[in-house]
């Protein structure tokens, strides 16, 4: 690959507890896409161009990636699966062996045979995702920070409550899960993904206590004003203009939340991050993955993320399908009232999501960007509310 075909990346290599090389000594590789390339492509480039067997640790800002060179060890790590207290443990040497030990232990219990090395599909501050080849069909492994430790339990709950809308959960623990691979996407969807999301929500009505007992966070309407008020004091996260914008609109936010509460829409499970990479139309149903942002909340906050960049026609049709599903159990007047206020409560929900992520995981540039975006969206939504 020539420089014209790909970006040049520096490669910092670590073996066990050894120290990093100095920057001037770092070798370079050529990868199409540079630091935004899929992790497995970076790993393959290092293997092919440098002749090293590695796994990815971190993709840094600029043109540097950190990798660990794999070396045989006399003893394998214990497959404890106790990862959630270790911070971003998949960015430190030894993480890959720990995962293999856990996966192989789970496969042995389930009678599944691994037939090759897992492929790194995503690797960043929010998750580590591997595609694991087996004798029958690939299985996907995902690890997440402790703040999202509930994901496996929630995904398993959904797989039992409404199985047509999630891949089967093979095994799970605190801050990790193994799932079946989704079928390839087929033809154009027969419905908007929000219709499927509404079905999942309806399946959770009256069962939210089960979800809370599994560790699913509670983020109901009563938490919204205090969360935004607390953020309006965070000089370390927001600009003076953003802080004053939120502070000035807190009375309006409280009024909207009170109006929404009066509608008495039941709280449900909310996915919180519906977007194209987290949902796939398989010909008969939408399959929904990535329940890291799952919580018990007002169901209409779900509209914010999938419609954040939608044009007017797409938005109107998506809202209609979502509303029609809910109209089967709620009066039309209640549904329409919830739709009118959805931009406010949805923006507030997303804003708190990214505040939580930045505080828990760190100031990853994409997380910070979305924190500022949803601050602006909330201000705009409050300014658009009819008096």
Rounded to whole angstroms, how far apart are CA atoms 132 and 69?
Answer: 20
Closest CA to 203 of 266, 261, 148: 266
Helix (H) or strand (E) holding 67: strand 64-69
pLDDT for res 18: 43
Name beta bridge partners: 80: none
Report the relative pairing of strands 139-143 and 128-132 from DSSP bridges.
antiparallel
User: Of 53, 158, 178, whose CA–CA distance to 112 is shortest?
Assistant: 178
Q: What is the pLDDT of the chain when averaged over all its residues?
A: 92
Distance CA 144, CA 87 (A): 9
Residue 249 has, within 13 A of its CA and on its CB side, a CA count of: 25
pLDDT tops 60 at residue 21: no
Q: In whole angstroms, how far apart are CA 173 and each of 108, 148, 152, 176, 339?
A: 16, 11, 6, 5, 36
Backbone φ and ψ of 348, nearest 5°: -65, -40
What is the token pair recorded at 50? Answer: 């440098």
Q: Report the Cα–Cα distance between both ends of the chain, in Å, rounded.
A: 61
Give CA–CA dist 3/1, Å, rounded.
7
Rg (alpha carbons) of the chain, rounded to whole number: 22
Q: What is the pLDDT of residues 341-360, one digit of tens each?
A: 999 999 999 999 999 999 99
Q: Is the dihedral of CA 184, 185, 191, 193 positive or negative?
A: positive
235 pLDDT higher than 50: yes
Q: How confident is the model at residue 19 (pLDDT cuts 50, 70, 90)?
A: very low
Res 80: pLDDT: 63
pLDDT for res 86 = 67
pLDDT digits (tens, 9 = 90+) for 127-149: 999 999 999 999 999 999 999 99
pLDDT band (50, 70, 90) for residue 185: confident
**Of 306, 335, 330, 332, whose CA–CA distance to 318 is shortest?**
306
Token pair of 92, please?
């430190």
């Amino acid at each position: 690959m020539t420089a014209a075909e790909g970006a040049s990346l520096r490669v910092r290599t670590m073996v066990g507890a050894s120290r990093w090389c100095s920057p001037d000594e770092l070798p370079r590789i050529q990868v199409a896409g540079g630091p935004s390339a899929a992790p497995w492509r970076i790993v393959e480039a290092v293997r092919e161009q440098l002749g090293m067997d590695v796994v990815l640790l971190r993709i840094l800002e600029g043109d540097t990636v950190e990798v660990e060179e794999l070396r045989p060890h006399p003893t394998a790590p214990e497959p404890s699966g106790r990862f959630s207290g270790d911070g971003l443990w998949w960015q430190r040497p030894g993480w890959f062996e720990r995962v293999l030990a856990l996966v192989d232990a789970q496969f042995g219990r389930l009678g599944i045979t691994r037939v090759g090395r897992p492929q790194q599909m995503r690797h960043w501050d929010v998750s580590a995702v591997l595609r694991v080849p087996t004798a029958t069909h690939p299985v996907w492994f995902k690890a997440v920070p402790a703040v999202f430790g509930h994901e496996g339990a929630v995904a398993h709950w959904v797989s039992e409550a409404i199985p047509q809308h999630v891949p089967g959960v093979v095994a799970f623990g605190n801050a990790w899960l193994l799932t079946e691979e989704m079928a390839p996407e087929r033809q154009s969807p027969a419905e908007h993904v929000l219709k499927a999301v509404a079905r999942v929500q309806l399946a959770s009505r009256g069962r939210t206590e089960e979800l809370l007992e599994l560790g699913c966070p509670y983020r109901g309407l009563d938490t919204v004003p205090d969360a935004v008020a607390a953020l309006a004091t965070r000089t370390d996260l927001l600009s003076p203009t953003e802080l004053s914008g939120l502070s000035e609109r807190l009375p309006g936010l409280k009024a909207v939340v009170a109006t929404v509460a009066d509608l008495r829409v039941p709280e449900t499970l909310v996915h919180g991050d519906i977007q194209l990479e987290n949902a796939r139309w398989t010909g008969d149903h939408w399959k929904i993955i990535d329940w890291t942002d799952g919580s018990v909340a007002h169901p209409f906050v779900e509209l914010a993320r999938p419609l954040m960049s939608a044009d007017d026609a797409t938005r109107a049709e998506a809202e209609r399908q979502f509303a029609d599903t809910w109209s089967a159990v709620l009066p039309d007047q209640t549904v329409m009232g919830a739709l009118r206020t959805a931009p406010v409560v949805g923006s507030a929900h997303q804003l708190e999501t990214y505040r939580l992520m930045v505080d828990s995981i760190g100031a990853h540039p994409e997380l910070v960007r979305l924190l500022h975006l949803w601050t602006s969206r909330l201000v705009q939504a409050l300014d658009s509310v009819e008096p």
